[in-house]
Amino acid sequence: MQVRRLARGADDGFRSPLVPGVKSSEDAERLAEELAFAAGRLGRLEADPPGCYAEVAGAAGAAGEAGAAGPGDVEERTWLAFLIAYLCPVNGDDPFVGIRAARTPWASGEAPDLTDVPTGPRTAHEPARGMRTLDAYRAWAARAGSQAAAFGGDPSWSPERRFARAFERLALPGLHRDARFDLLVTLGRLGVYDLRAATLQFGGANETTLAAKRALGIGDTLLLERRAAELAEVAALPLEALDLGLHNWGAGTRATMGLEPTAEPDPAALDSARGALGL
């Protein structure tokens, strides 16, 4: 059994109907900052994706390495997005060092070498599991005919339904909630597939769900989703920003998720989050 001690600010009388579980203005301020950081990261993914994310987006000039994906190679770009979400960028000056080292072309069928590969704070990789998760992912894509077919689903689906169906179907051995959610957000924000989250897919013992229960003051999943959606709406933030924002707030340390170590919360998002929380 693992015992976790969460650092919490002292109860100083802070109260907000949006986050009834937060009793400290210090905790509320930190939550606003992490939500604003996460919102800023989503903006960067769309406008100026850093590192390997640029290649996933098919940005001109991003595919400079041997075996790298070209702008039109959706299978290679999707595979790279999967590896990013599975291994997770590390915090530091070279967030994608492990992903570049492990990567193999999708078309080759060659398994990545994950021996001693650096992984980030939200990684799904466990060395003891070996290649089981990656093998399961390849089998999942093969059943659909391709990765593009698997993620694209029915052309008549809305972006929200496509996201929900893919999230459900990606419940593969070892691919936890955080990796699945980040993968689909990444593919949607970078324009690879038409995907948009309508819910945060709370559930399990992951940091995002635990932090949501703490901040939103409820354990029921349906009510958690409703309160999270209300927080995002009042704060004028993308719903998807609550995923990383809550994770970082609950963990007490910031996973930069591909951004440079000096990246700061988006100023406009921070003002909006502070205003919503009454700070």
The CA distances from residue 107 to 55, 66, 97, 193, in Å, are: 16, 14, 22, 20
The residue assigned the tokens 């988006």 is 266
For range 116-141, the mean pLDDT: 96
Lowest average pLDDT, out of 70-74, 213-217, 229-233, 262-266, goes to: 70-74
**CA distance linking residue 151 with residue 190, whole number of Å:** 14
Q: What is the pLDDT of residue 59?
A: 65
Q: What are phi and psi of 181, to 5 degrees?
A: -65, -45
Structure tokens at 93: 């000056």
Question: Residue 209: its pLDDT value, please?
Answer: 98
Does residue 5 carry a pLDDT above 60?
Answer: no
pTM of the predicted model, to two decimals? 0.92
Distance CA 88, CA 81 (A): 10
CA-to-CA distance for 247 and 207, rounded, in angstroms? 5
Q: What pLDDT does residue 72 have?
A: 62
pLDDT at 7 over 70: no
Taking only the tens place, the pLDDT of each residue in 22-49 is: 999 999 999 999 999 999 999 999 999 9
Question: pLDDT at residue 8 above 90?
Answer: no
Query: Token pair of 18, please?
Result: 């949006």
First-to-last CA distance in the chain?
Answer: 37
Q: Using one digit for the tens of pLDDT, what is the confidence trace for 148-173?
A: 999 999 999 999 999 999 999 999 99
Is the confidence at residue 2, as pLDDT, over 60?
no
